[in-house]
Amino acid sequence: MERPQYLIDTNVVIDYLGKKLPPSGMEFMNNVIDSIPNVSVITKIEVLGYNSAGEYYELLTSFMEDATIFDLSNKVVEISIDIRKNRKTKLPDVIIAATALADGLILISRNIADFKNLQGLTVIDPHNLGENKTTV
């Protein structure tokens, strides 16, 4: 059986690298990161645009260099437009959700509410494993 593929949201990248996840969340993310981590280009912009100290910035940069970065494809743009027509959601969140949907990925995010009711999107919160997995 094929291993599930994940898209990691900005808040989870920061929480994981800052070791701010509970033990079960860290273990889950260690398993996700064992394969090449996937992030949206939006996450790369948000993470590397975050004003952080030199050593932590190097850690963030190294993570992004090892990650697969999903760019804005036409499919992601079209799904983003459809989502924006029907929801008042921040554009970065829309693009991240559309990237997961376009590429059949499970989204890992602390902000479950930001992605609620998006048809076909599965979201896992590593802060509350087992409690906040949502599939619409």
Q: Domain 6-127 falls in which CATH fold? A: Rossmann fold (3.40.50)
Percent of the chain whose pLDDT exceeds 70: 93
Q: What pLDDT was estimated at residue 56?
A: 85
Lowest mean pLDDT among 2-6, 13-17, 42-46: 2-6
Q: What pLDDT was estimated at residue 114?
A: 85
Q: Which residue has better confidence, 54 or 96?
A: 96
Q: Which backbone phi and psi does 81 adopt, to 5 degrees?
A: -60, -45
Q: For residue 72, give the amino acid letter.
A: L
- pLDDT tens per residue across span 86-113: 888 899 999 999 999 999 999 999 999 8
Please compute the mean of the pLDDT values over residues 111-135 and round it to a whole number: 82
In this predicted structure, the answer to whether residue 124 has a pLDDT above a threshold of 80 is yes
What is the biggest distance separating any 2 CA atoms in the chain, rounded to whole angstroms?
A: 42
Please compute the mean of the pLDDT values over residues 36-56 and round it to a whole number: 90
Q: How confident is the model at residue 135 (pLDDT cuts 50, 70, 90)?
A: very low
Q: What pLDDT was estimated at residue 130?
A: 63
- Three-state DSSP at 45 gives helix
For residue 32, give every residue at least 6 positions away whose Cβ sits within 8 Å of its Cβ, in sequence order, or none. Answer: 6, 8, 108
Rounded to two decimals, what is the model's pTM? Answer: 0.90
In this predicted structure, the answer to whether residue 136 has a pLDDT above a threshold of 50 is no
